[in-house]
Structure 1
Amino acid sequence: MLAVPAFVAIGAMGIAMAQGAMAATFAVSGTNFKVTSGELTSDALASYVEVDRSVDGKGHPVSLLSLKQAALSDICQSTGVNTPIGRVTFRLSAGGDAGKVTADSLVIDAEDLAGDAKFGKVEIGRDASTLDAVPGTQGKPGSFGLQVKGVSVSGVKSHAWSAMGGNFKLKGLKINVGLGGKECF
């Protein structure tokens, strides 16, 4: 009998997340990662300041970047991890000659992002609780927000703490794990 209320609560949380009323979050690893792409495009972007938390409770300030439908010419994601046998590099790459990388509802919690950007209609300084360019992406009332309809960034370089999305398509996917391997930058 206790299982029924638990299933109802889980279902309600799932519906709330799907409707954007509740953020889907997880504890970050405590190690950020590097991301590069030749070009990132999206029909819409919404962003506000957030804090990611690692399991040890440490906070990591980020810009939550939510992209409605994203396309990347290519992608490289890497991180280095200290292990008992030395520093191990995890590196994921895709796209390029194999074709574009695409994702729906891509959310990146970025510590920084550099590149050459072109924005369509932009609203900077909008209250984060009123963002509407990307459904389900709103921050706290009174918080700084930014949104763009139509965005392109070339030469993307970023340090991020997390990324999540739906319907990821990674053409030409390659994953390499090794001692002292080469990171994206």
Structure 2
Amino acid sequence: KPAVADNIYLDVAELDTDAEFKNLDIGVAVGDPSHKTKPQAGTVASPYAFSQRADKAILTNVRQKAWATTAGTFKLPDLKLRLLGGDQPCYQDAN
């Protein structure tokens, strides 16, 4: 079952996926007011950061290291979530 999200915003350090985009725009300034989706409240944009946006993205075999993932609607069938003690990387796997 696929994961499905509307108006998703990913604040990631790493994203490994098979991706298909519709109307992709790479190099958009973070915080650009023309974005349909906005950073999570309180997010401080780096002047050295850039972003990308698309009307539609299909991501499969997703593995990400993220500070934040925000979506208007986010359906994650068969979600498995674990909290590990110590200095462990945090991954979200969604296919």
**TM-score computed with the length of structure 1 as normaliser:** 0.31
Deviations 1:112-143 (A, max 9, x none): 110110011111123332443x2445x67785
1:145, distance to aligned residue in structure 2 (A): 2.9
Partner of 1:159: 65
Structure 2 contact 24–53 (Cα < 8 Å) conserved: yes
Distance in 2, Cα, partners of 1:39 & 1:163: 17
1:150, distance to aligned residue in structure 2 (A): 1.1
Deviations 1:128-177 (A, max 9, x none): 32443x2445x677852311111101110111233344555555666667
Distance in 1, Cα, partners of 2:83 & 2:68: 19
Residue 107 of structure 1 aligns with an amino acid whose one-letter code is: Y
Residue 58 of structure 2 aligns with an amino acid whose one-letter code is: S
Question: Which of 5, 9, 19 is the aligned partner of 1:117?
Answer: 19
Partner of 2:9: 107
Partner of 2:42: none
Distance in 1, Cα, partners of 2:46 & 2:17: 28
Q: Which has the higher strand share?
A: 1
Identity %: 22
Higher RCO (C-alpha 8 Å, min separation 6): 2
Q: 1:177 to 1:121 in 2, by over 3 A?
A: closer
Partner of 1:46: none
Residue 149 of structure 1 aligns with an amino acid whose one-letter code is: D
Distance in 1, Cα, partners of 2:82 & 2:46: 39
Deviations 1:46-71 (A, max 9, x none): xxxxxxxxxxxxxxxxxxxxxxx0xx
Runs of 4+ aligned residues of structure 1 deviating over 6 Å after TM superposition are 176-179
RMSD over aligned CA atoms reads 4.0
Structure 1 contact 118–153 (Cα < 8 Å) conserved: yes
Structure 1 contact 122–149 (Cα < 8 Å) conserved: yes
Which sections of structure 1, spanning at least 5 residues, go unmatched?
1-37, 43-68, 70-104
Q: Which has the larger radius of gyration?
A: 1
Structure 1 contact 121–150 (Cα < 8 Å) conserved: yes
Structure 1 contact 41–153 (Cα < 8 Å) conserved: no
Q: Does 1:144 align with 2:50?
A: yes
